[in-house]
Amino acid sequence: MAQAQPEPASSSYGLRREVLSPMETLAQSVSTIAPTTTPVATIPLVCALAGNGTWLAYVLATAAVLLVALCIGKFARYSASPGSLYTYASMILPPSLGATAAWSLLLAYIATASSVIGGFYHFGNVLLRDATGHGTSAAFLAILAAVISIWIAWRDVQISARLMLWIEAISVSIILIVLILVLFRHGWHLDSDQFHLRGMTGSGLRLGLVLALFSFVGFESATTLGAEARNPFKTIPRAVIQSALLAGVFFIVCAYTEVLGVRSAGQDLATNPEPMHVLARFGGLSVLGLLIDIGALVSMFAGTLACITAAARVLLLMSHNGLAHGSLRKTHARNETPGLAIAVTGVAAVVPTVVLAARGASGLDVYGWMGSLATYGFIVTYALVSFALPRYLRAHNAYRAGVQIIPWLACAAMLLALVGNLYPVPEGPYGKLPYIYLVYLVAGLAWFFFRSRGAKPTLAQS
């Protein structure tokens, strides 16, 4: 069987071609994950469900995400375009499923941006109150984060990538220093409660695993830079797999050390609003708690910028393929960025956050609600791409015996995650999110079928 070759690079769609280095491409995925936010905001929520099995929930989540990353990496070795996973699905699956992937992925990036904007105004007010004793308008902080992100994303994709890279590198480094201090203070022996999973239940682990998956969403967003990354058939697959693996190792270490450190300090991680402050004090350097709050703030901003960058490129290709209004395909002549698509996705991200803030929702509530909504879009898209991979490899003479095992395992993992999100039915606002996603998806597909009646969209090739 002939060796498969990468397809010719696609049109740049008016974007700046091959400008991003491998590290800048990796920065896109890492910043969308926003790794600093997980130890601060997500791990305590997982601990409330999984208890001493929190580290195991992250081990299993890492395994599931790596399966999906391997599937996406296979696509990315042969295809590169701004459409990301939407392009991969649409090349193989029926048009309606391609449209499902497009609308789901667009929602996922926009809702993730809304989520981290909520986190931004939460940490912004935390820092302001610590410094001055007074906070400020949550809506103002949300709009500020969105406007600056829109401007940077419009101005220069390379500036965006470099800024995101430095922000996350500094924030993660500070957290790692705190974790090392905690482990040194505790002593280099294993925590028997965690390794014996004392008190953990099967249902708690299952629900904790679903929540742990949210920590990883967006790891694939480097694929939206298919026109802008240098040597995309090599750098993008590596960025996707590296971001999933690096994030997984970081989250597992954080989960283990946070449970250990907060308990050693005589407190409960599941109910503690400032776990990193507790760990910093336990480690003997309280000032690092403040630096981590600052890191969380800028990481939320970096996540906003990364999500708007990714969402705008998906919307750009959707416009080229007839799934969105034709005006959204325009790019700025000098900056070579999709200006109108950036503005639309930025506004779409900030509006629900401002509305929720005006109704009195806390930043962490917005972070949880919008993040959970984004998870539905990501899970569905990941499942569709994994499902499409075997047929894609056959079409490119790259199919081998047993190659379908990883895609089927990835599909199964995503379906289990989806079921875990839906059953048992979540309480409160979380119970409404599946219906919001379904209404949105039905509206997107209705637009797709309406447009198809006049002229069938030509789905992008790589």
Structure confidence at residue 272 (pLDDT):
84
**How confident is the model over 27-34, as a mean pLDDT?**
87
CA distance 395 to 88: 13
**How confident is the model over 250-271, as a mean pLDDT?**
94
Structure confidence at residue 426 (pLDDT):
75
Structure confidence at residue 16 (pLDDT):
77
| Confidence tier at 410 by pLDDT (50, 70, 90) | very high
CA distance 235 to 389: 20
Whether 413 has a pLDDT exceeding 50, the answer reads yes
**How confident is the model over 237-255, as a mean pLDDT?**
96
| Confidence tier at 211 by pLDDT (50, 70, 90) | confident
Report the mean per-residue pLDDT for the chain: 88
Structure confidence at residue 204 (pLDDT):
87
Structure confidence at residue 2 (pLDDT):
42
CA distance 171 to 166: 9
Structure confidence at residue 160 (pLDDT):
62
Structure confidence at residue 299 (pLDDT):
87
| Confidence tier at 189 by pLDDT (50, 70, 90) | confident
Structure confidence at residue 455 (pLDDT):
55
| Residue at 106: amino acid letter | L
Higher pLDDT, 195 or 4: 195
Whether 63 has a pLDDT exceeding 60, the answer reads yes
**How confident is the model over 45-71, as a mean pLDDT?**
95
**How confident is the model over 304-312, as a mean pLDDT?**
92
Higher pLDDT, 2 or 291: 291
Structure confidence at residue 377 (pLDDT):
94
| Confidence tier at 459 by pLDDT (50, 70, 90) | very low
Structure confidence at residue 462 (pLDDT):
45
| Confidence tier at 137 by pLDDT (50, 70, 90) | very high
Whether 461 has a pLDDT exceeding 50, the answer reads no
**How confident is the model over 101-129, as a mean pLDDT?**
95
- % the chain with pLDDT above 90: 55
Structure confidence at residue 106 (pLDDT):
96
Q: What pLDDT, in 10s, does the model give residues 431-441? A: 899 999 999 99
Query: Taking the chain, what is the end-to-end CA distance rounded to the nearest angstrom?
Result: 22
**How confident is the model over 135-160, as a mean pLDDT?**
89
Q: How many CA atoms lie within 13 A of 213 on its CB side?
A: 30
Q: What pLDDT, in 10s, does the model give residues 312-362? A: 999 999 998 889 988 898 888 787 889 999 999 999 999 999 999 999 999
Whether 369 has a pLDDT exceeding 60, the answer reads yes
Structure confidence at residue 460 (pLDDT):
45
**How confident is the model over 383-393, as a mean pLDDT?**
92
Whether 157 has a pLDDT exceeding 70, the answer reads no
**How confident is the model over 409-428, as a mean pLDDT?**
85
Report for 258-262, 395-399, 449-453: range of highest mean pLDDT = 258-262
Structure confidence at residue 458 (pLDDT):
47
Whether 279 has a pLDDT exceeding 80, the answer reads yes
Whether 13 has a pLDDT exceeding 90, the answer reads no
